[in-house]
Amino acid sequence: MALKGRTWSELDKRFVMFIKEKRRQDSRNLSLRTIEQLTGIKHGRLSGMLNMDSGVPTLDEFIQLCRLFNLSPSTVLDQLEKSLSKDDSGRFDIDVFIDEVVANPDAFDIAANQNDLKEIERETPRE
């Protein structure tokens, strides 16, 4: 057993944000207890993981959460890796990620492109 937990990497954080968005978009309105029943991942663990205040996702959790949303784990990992660009300091390059989303919005299931109100949302100024 490890003496110290692994530090959250940018890939770990990106995966959690991705899963949170998939959960938000999912028509089933999945509660943490429902996700527990469907995946076997305890609801308390899910809460800590989704809030990024507990341990990083394990490989098994990654696979179970991808399958919950009918996603191929290898495809998700490939998309997440491509969306991350490391500069010399190892930080996430948001400009590269935005370019990837703009170039391939369907791969990221951008809500504004799927929403009936997408035209209005595009025109609404940000505050």
Structural domains of the chain, ranges and CATH numbers in brackets: 10-123 (1.10.260)
Q: For each of the chain's 127 residues, which pLDDT tens digit applies?
A: 455 667 888 889 999 999 999 999 999 999 999 999 999 999 999 999 999 998 899 999 999 999 999 999 999 998 888 887 654 445 666 777 777 777 776 666 555 555 666 666 666 666 5
pTM: predicted TM-score of the whole model, two decimal places: 0.64
Tokens of 117: 């109100």
> Rounded to an integer, what distance in angstroms lies between the CA atom of residue 17 and that of residue 10?
11
Amino acid at 40: G
